[in-house]
Structure 1
Amino acid sequence: MDRVPMSTRCGAIDPGVILYLLDLGITADGVRRMLYEDSGLLGLSGISHDMRKLLASPAPEAAEAVEVFVYRGGREIGSLSAALGGLDTLVFTAGIGEGSPEIRQRIAQQAAWLGLRLDPARNAAGATEIGVGPVRVLVLPADEELATAEAVYGLLRS
């Protein structure tokens, strides 16, 4: 479960938290609901799972949820870059990655030490290629349903 927090799903969590919740008498289904439906940006902010609403909100809880998301995004990029021995391309995708120039910019600032730099105009315009440094930075649409269908089709054919 070690990942960036999603809209309603938790990011990194100490496994002891799950045991603690079970010891409190919360059912396994209740813990599942907490981890997958009531956590993430929604749980951190207590306001919304929608990054657009959090960015527009003056509430400190919204700002904190955004900061955690950006921090974890930058941390994951650094961790994976270390594991891969460097970084030549970074791809932003899915809802927040495709739709939020501000979050892309803030995450790129977190990873600037790797050579990530964005062209502000191209980033704001939602261009496909938005990087201007030694690391290519792309914004690509996600089509998870198509990827799943292609994988299943490939399995059925083999």
Structure 2
Amino acid sequence: MKNTIKNQKGFSLIEAVAAMFILTVGLLAVSMMQIGAMKANTNAISRTDGVAMAQTVMETLRSLPLSSSLLTDTGAALDAGKSVNGNAPIPANAGHRASELYPATTVEGSNGKVYTIFWNVEKDAPTKRARTLRLFVYWTNQNSGLNKVIMTSTLGGLYL
């Protein structure tokens, strides 16, 4: 006589292993998405700090009288010191550096990143008795490389 079990209920070992494999692949995908989101968040924080730093320096410079030594035309082109083709910027080529406003040539942000700040001034541009100011803020992120914020503003002009 043969023993047969009727109406078997439950899962076989192969079904359980297959389900665990599918669950593992899904959890790995979710963890990779989480790692990507954390990297993007770090990049966004750095960019926010860089823009805030650029805005702070720009507002400081805009609040100065045109006769300030920080707004003198040193003869450097507006783009002097700028990074070219992804290479590091050369602040020494710029007309003015962060050390004229801060104790050092670089500034550490609230996120621990080091920001390189410099600017150039062109006198009588775009009109007489005006200054064109171009500000550069550079920093490096581990996953996105060299980042920058460049702001240009015109100071003075017709209303003087």
TM-score, normalised to structure 2's length? 0.23
More helix by share: 1
Which structure ranks higher in relative contact order (CA pairs < 8 Å, sequence separation ≥ 6)?
2
More strand by share: 2
TM-score, normalised to structure 1's length? 0.23
Bigger Rg, which one: 2
